[in-house]
A and B are shown apart, each in its own frame.
Chain A
Amino acid sequence: MEAVDLGQLLSAQQDRRIRVIENLLRGKKTVSTLYWGQRYRLLPLLNLDKHLQRGGLDDAIQELQHRGWATVDGDQATVRLTAAGEQQLAQRAYYRPVTTDQWVNLDLVAARQRLLLAVQVTSQFAHSTARYYPLATDQETRRAVRQWFHRRKSPTLAPQLGAALTHSLQQLPGQTAGVVTDQFTGFGQPGLTSEQVAAAHQWTVWEVHLMQIDGVVQIAQDARQADHPLHDLLGPLWQVPISRSAQATLTAIEAGGDLARVATIRKIKLSTVREHLLEAAIMLPLRDFPYERVLPPQVRQDFAAVLAGSVDDWQYTNLPEELQTRYDFFYFRLFAIWQIKEATA
């Protein structure tokens, strides 16, 4: 990620913890990372760069500082854009992805792998080539694509897939459609690497990456239609954006258990139950979380009576002593999440 890419993830109005951005990209889903990811409106970054090393954004931060585009608060490990930085970044036409609201709901890495291999296999099949180098992918991708191909193999597959992909790409910006096409490998076309596409258009590699994700998500979305040629290949990759264990906790709560009882039934700690609930509250839409049960109106009223202003400035330790005794941090945090969701709903 280059300085200009990281700059897009920062704000001149809000200090942002660099470790939160790093953890989001690496897919480290702690409640704290998710909460702040939500505050920064950066949750779609989850899992986008699993190979990023710890400290992997340091060079980009230094570059931003060097250019005078950002300031770093060493104690807090936060970064904020300067006015100059904000202005400079706004001047450059940076790619704005169009499908971000769906990113956490799809296994992006697997979907991309399956799509690329399916295109290659279909393309080679259409040209009657039996011997070619398949893209090097993991076993699960190979298995899924092999099964899909055996079910779908027919003289009409290639034209159907071609038409379906064309339809999907037409809904995206023209440059994105071009990038998605360029990455495909198939008959007589090795495909371009992200770096090659970026160099050809003077984009950053990260921008190309964002365009590719837009392509994958658009295609996967269209493939939700039962008659789409990739329906059964990409369909299983749509996911609820919370862990299985958190889903089980949520189900138990919805079935009527209180937190302590759910902890006993599920043989997990009360603190784990709370973490699961916070994860679910952050990741799921307002309507999909049982706020009525977990955060009853009385609790909300008690917090609302003392909390005002920007959510970012709220501090649990600044609450009146009496409220801190009555409600521990979990309810305070859940109330903040509920407020944010209400405000953006």
Chain B
Amino acid sequence: MEPLTTSLKRVFGFEHFRSGQEQALTSLENGHDTLAILPTGAGKTLIYQLYGYRHPGCVLIVSPLLSLMNDQVNRMRMSGFKRAAAITSQTPFGERLSILNHLNQYQFLFLSPEMLAQPQMLARLQQIRLSLLVVDEAHCIVQWGPDFRPEYLLLGAIREKLHHPLTLMLTATAGQQTRAEIAKQLRSQPQVVTESVNRPNIYLDVENVADEATKQSRLQDLVAHLRRPGVVYFSSKQQATDTALWLRDTTGVTAAAYHAGLDAEDRFKIQQQFMAGQLDVICATSAFGMGIDKDDVRFVIHYHLPADLESYAQEIGRAGRDGHPSVAILLYAPGDEQLPLALGQANRPEVDTIQRYYAHPQNFAADDPQIQLLAFYRSHGISEDAVVRLFASREQERNHALAQMLAYVRTETCLRATWLQAFDETSPAHTARCCAPGNVALDLAALGLTRQAAAPTPEAVPWQERLARLF
């Protein structure tokens, strides 16, 4: 078989791998399950693309975000891998059938965990040759598993049914505990390929504000003065939408909201506008980011407190991929931890509910998400006691993760040190260009991150001319 670098050159035209890619590929080529923890923008997709190119059979990718799966397929097609398809619960029946009937012709198949868990899908997959199983965003096993995506917890059993295919687990961030949990859930002892999560060119900042109103006006002030483009993260779709409008009206920035509630056409347009430099600011939920290739994002602001440092690291990782100075700002008002607490608990049934459900499952409405979760566990033969324990331990983990996040917010010395410590890394020595904890003021000018003169706005051109430009 030709050397990896020869394949790289042939398929992508690159001379060199980016850091981590070659190690992960080598590990896979040697037949080892591999957990690759590589920062956002490191080119994780290339690893399985190249593996799929070099080996016959189908690369099966399990991916958690339904709304982005079709984007991923488009991305594959654009890279020249035409035999790619995705099946999710949103795939129309006819399309699903047509893909299933030609399954052995696909080189890359993206599936949502729900789809993969269906017995008939598994049966079809058992009939084809799988060259590689990829678990994308593998940290979701831990972050989302018990609450949102119980199907991720079946992946271990599914791997067994698929006769232990070679498996690549991908994530941007995973501390020791998350790594261990991923390996345990997937019933695998992977080789770990890891790069530091540290991003030295991203300046870290935490700002304490007195209340919601102060937070809003601080956001307004920052957006007006920061060098653009940037992303502001929210935990609520509605607030992302409202704030985009408000920022547009009050600061004159071009802003748009991006969340999973938008339809595919709008998501496409907002994403393309942002990539083309037509938008200054995106007000987003966590749906934005995975798979966005934009190198020059100068700031990421968190309006709401993320539930854990891993999500936070993922999201600030959108900034400064070109290596130039960028900033990650977290706005914190007293009591902000209530929102992630409430969101975490929204799907968690009380012990009492679990007991009543197991006693009389038929008495419960099937459209309640909590009940759906319990029905899922019950139908997979998990006992009442085990479910109670599962939720209790999950809550402990979540509380621990939130406590870590709060420790970051309350850090008084070096934010980077607290952050990296959570990923079992040691931080480089603190300097003036490292961070500004809550008790230190942010000096944007010193960082060279204040905004330059505004770009000229395009003149109003008659539609005939705009139409002509297209052709």
Name the A residues within 8 Å of B77 (CB-CB). Answer: 134
Instruction: Assess the A193–B270 pair: CB atoms within 8 A.
Output: yes
Stretch in A80-88, A119-127, A270-278, A333-341 with 4+ CB within 8 Å of B: A119-127
Name the B residues within 8 Å of A140 (CB-CB). Answer: 92, 94-95
Which of B98, B276, B464 touches A139 (beta carbons < 8 Å)?
Answer: B98
A178-201 vs B, CB cutoff 8 Å, 1 = contact: the mask equals 101110111111111111100100
Instruction: Assess the A190–B95 pair: CB atoms within 8 A.
Output: no
Check if A166 is an interface residue, CB within 8 A of chain B: yes
Among residues of A, the one whose C-beta sits closest to the C-beta of B263 is A51
Instruction: Assess the A162–B468 pair: CB atoms within 8 A.
Output: yes
CA of A169 to CA of B245, assembled, Å = 30
Which of A139, A162, A169, A199 touches B471 (beta carbons < 8 Å)?
Answer: A162
Among residues of B, the one whose C-beta sits closest to the C-beta of A137 is B264
Instruction: Assess the B471–A123 pair: CB atoms within 8 A.
Output: yes
Instruction: Assess the A166–B269 pair: CB atoms within 8 A.
Output: no
Instruction: Assess the A135–B278 pair: CB atoms within 8 A.
Output: no
Instruction: Assess the B471–A116 pair: CB atoms within 8 A.
Output: no
Check if A308 is an interface residue, CB within 8 A of chain B: no
CA of A192 to CA of B263, assembled, Å = 13
Instruction: Assess the B471–A126 pair: CB atoms within 8 A.
Output: yes
Check if B256 is an interface residue, CB within 8 A of chain A: yes
Knowing A133-B78, A134-B77, A138-B92, say if A192 contacts B269 (CB, 8 Å): yes
B69-81 vs A, CB cutoff 8 Å, 1 = contact: the mask equals 0110011011000
Instruction: Assess the B463–A178 pair: CB atoms within 8 A.
Output: yes
Knowing A116-B265, A185-B269, say if A161 contacts B74 (CB, 8 Å): no
Instruction: Assess the A136–B267 pair: CB atoms within 8 A.
Output: yes
CA of A159 to CA of B467, assembled, Å = 11
State which residues 229-281 of B face A: CB under 8 Å.
245, 248, 256, 263-270, 272-273, 275-276, 278
Instruction: Assess the A190–B273 pair: CB atoms within 8 A.
Output: yes
Check if B360 is an interface residue, CB within 8 A of chain A: no
Instruction: Assess the B468–A135 pair: CB atoms within 8 A.
Output: no
B427-471 vs A, CB cutoff 8 Å, 1 = contact: the mask equals 000000000000000000000000000000000000110111111
Name the A residues within 8 Å of B275 (CB-CB). Answer: 190
Instruction: Assess the A133–B471 pair: CB atoms within 8 A.
Output: no
Check if A246 is an interface residue, CB within 8 A of chain B: no
Instruction: Assess the A190–B469 pair: CB atoms within 8 A.
Output: no
CA of A186 to CA of B470, assembled, Å = 6
CA of A158 to CA of B471, assembled, Å = 5
Chain B interface residue number, banded = 20 to 34
Knowing A136-B70, A184-B470, A188-B469, say if A166 contacts B92 (CB, 8 Å): no
Among residues of B, the one whose C-beta sits closest to the C-beta of A122 is B471
Q: Which of B98, B248, B268 has the most CB of A within 10 A?
A: B268
State which residues 68-108 of B face A: CB under 8 Å.
70-71, 74-75, 77-78, 92, 94-95, 98
Name the B residues within 8 Å of A181 (CB-CB). Answer: 463, 466-467
Nearest CB on A from B11, distance (A)? 14
Check if A234 is an interface residue, CB within 8 A of chain B: no
Which of B92, B267, B469 touches A189 (beta carbons < 8 Å)?
Answer: B469
Among residues of B, the one whose C-beta sits closest to the C-beta of A175 is B463
Instruction: Assess the B256–A165 pair: CB atoms within 8 A.
Output: no
State which residues 95-148 of A face B: CB under 8 Å.
116, 119, 122-123, 126, 131-140
Instruction: Assess the A193–B266 pair: CB atoms within 8 A.
Output: yes
Instruction: Assess the A119–B470 pair: CB atoms within 8 A.
Output: yes
Name the B residues within 8 Å of A166 (CB-CB). Answer: 464, 467-468
CA of A161 to CA of B78, assembled, Å = 24
Instruction: Assess the B463–A169 pair: CB atoms within 8 A.
Output: yes
Name the B residues within 8 Å of A169 (CB-CB). Answer: 463, 467
Nearest CB on A from B291, distance (A)? 11
CA of A166 to CA of B275, assembled, Å = 28
Name the A residues within 8 Å of B276 (CB-CB). Answer: 188, 190
Among residues of B, the one whose C-beta sits closest to the C-beta of A192 is B269
Which of A126, A177, A190, A192 touches B463 (beta carbons < 8 Å)?
Answer: A177
Nearest CB on B from A302, distance (A)? 47
Nearest CB on A from B352, distance (A)? 31
Known A-B contacts: A134-B78, A140-B94, A189-B470. Give 8 more (CB < 8 A).
Answer: A135-B265, A136-B264, A140-B95, A169-B467, A184-B467, A186-B471, A193-B256, A193-B265
Provide 24 A-B residue pairs closer than 8 Å at the C-beta atoms, listed in order of the A residue.
Answer: A131-B78, A132-B78, A133-B74, A133-B268, A134-B74, A135-B264, A135-B268, A136-B265, A136-B267, A140-B95, A162-B468, A162-B470, A166-B467, A166-B468, A180-B463, A185-B268, A190-B268, A190-B269, A190-B272, A190-B276, A190-B278, A192-B269, A193-B265, A199-B248
Which residues of A are interface residues toward B (Cβ below 8 A)? 51, 116, 119, 122-123, 126, 131-140, 158-159, 161-162, 165-166, 169, 174, 177-178, 180-182, 184-196, 199
Which residues of B are interface residues toward A (Cβ below 8 A)? 70-71, 74-75, 77-78, 92, 94-95, 98, 245, 248, 256, 263-270, 272-273, 275-276, 278, 463-464, 466-471
- Going nearest first, the 5 A-B pairs with the smallest beta carbon separation are A190-B272, A162-B471, A158-B471, A139-B95, A186-B470
